[in-house]
Amino acid sequence: MLNLKSNNINPKDLLLYAITDRHWLNGRTLSQQVRECLEGGATIIQIREKKLSEEEFLEEAKEIQSLCKEFNVPFIVNDNINIAAKIKADGVHVGQEDMDAKKVRTMLGENAILGVSASTVEEALKAEKDGADYLGVGAVFNTSTKDDADSVSFDTLKEICNSVSIPVVAIGGISASNILELKGSGIDGVSVISAIFASDDIKEATKNLKELAKSL
């Protein structure tokens, strides 16, 4: 990894990248869970909603954005460019099946953080060329939260990190028990969903993962 600072994101902000999932709310609100996650030290938050109406998503995004501002961490919206633009989120993350990265960059402007998913060197290089500020690469381990995720080997992850000059975050099935297997790959951080939000103690789980991520 060349580990250069991209225009819109500091690689240090990608150390522990928490992605929301309402699957584990158990009667609580997403805001409550995100607050605990931020108190535990998450360095960036992405809101990911696939089943809410546009209106519900908008209101929830505003709540989470407010929390992120309170803790001074970047707030990213998954996929939904319209909502990201409407609330002036710090950025957006898109997958290979979503809108073309170059078009997203045009819509959101030069100052928004643009994250793009990649699972091959070719996809990574194209995303960088199209204006991505960072890459989400995975799935590096088996994951229950994204059934359609392509599998990415350690060697491919390392090759991607060595091929691009923008930061790389590993995603997919990462937990406290396997995170250190990614050591030496060149990643700038890890994206985590269930290892945080499915935990009985979100704050403690986040704190523990952050400490482990520091040794990657």
Catalytic residues: 48, 117, 146
Residue 211 makes CB contacts below 8 A (sequence gap 6+) with: none
Q: Tokens 């908008």 belong to which residue? A: 58
For residue 164, the 8-state DSSP code is: -
User: Alpha-carbon distance 177 to 174, whole Å?
Assistant: 8
Q: Tokens 């995303």 belong to which residue? A: 127
Q: Which helix (H) or strand (E) element contains residue 62?
A: helix 54-71
Q: Tokens 């491919």 belong to which residue? A: 156
What sign does the CA torsion over 117, 96, 1, 180 have? positive
Q: Which helix (H) or strand (E) element contains residue 91?
A: strand 91-94
Q: Supply φ then ψ for residue 165, to 5 degrees.
A: -105, 0
